[in-house]
Amino acid sequence: MKKAAAIKKIRNRAKLVDRKVEVKDIDHHGNGSSKVYARFEGSNQTISFWVNSDDSISSPHICRDGDESDPHTDYFAGYHVDNITQALNTVAALPPKYPVGSLVRFKDNKRNGRWKLAGKIALVMQAESGGNYKVQYPGSEDRYDPFYSERDLERVS
């Protein structure tokens, strides 16, 4: 992914989650290879990535505020992710697709068929970022309340 596309993706996510974002482009070594830092309002984490000579990005990284690397003890703050979307989903997650109180139906797919849930109507009880939902449906057990993926549900109302 090119630097301009990555920054555009970060700014678009900021609009979607209605938060301000501060993007800094810093050339630490003076060789034209810069590092971009993005920080969302109200977040305690920073996204960073290096810009290569061909203007592509590499090594997306997430680090918490106040977390400093210590090379003398082999401690390196934060962690790397595979792409900028994974970093954005961690720092500025999208709101849930189905709000609490909405009716959903379990899709007719292999997983729901295996669990004998295909076609059942359920009520969303808890909606988490990342597309995970706790639902209540006729015959659901009270003591075992798993999260179901957004991929397995479709909205009824």
pLDDT at 143 over 70: no
Give 128-140 pLDDT, tens digit per residue: 888 899 999 988 8
Which residues are within 8 A (CB) of 115 and not within 5 positions of it... i.e. 6 or more apart? none
- Bridge partners of 122, per DSSP, are 104
Strands 45-51 and 21-26: unpaired
Specify whether the CB–CB gap between 3 and 56 falls below 8 A: yes
Please give the tally of structural domains in the chain.
2
Domain carrying residue 124: 103-155
pLDDT at 150 over 90: yes
Is 78 a domain residue?
A: yes
Give 92-130 pLDDT, tens digit per residue: 998 899 999 999 999 999 999 999 999 999 999 999 888
Q: What is the spatial distance between Cα 109 and Cα 122, in angstroms, rounded to a whole number?
A: 16
pLDDT at 18 over 80: yes
Whole-structure pTM value: 0.78
Specify whether the CB–CB gap between 51 and 57 falls below 8 A: yes
Mean model confidence pLDDT for the chain: 92
Is 96 a domain residue?
A: no
Q: What is the spatial distance between Cα 75 and Cα 70, in angstroms, rounded to a whole number?
A: 5
Domain shared by 108 and 136, yes or no: yes
Domain shared by 65 and 117, yes or no: no
pLDDT at 56 over 80: yes
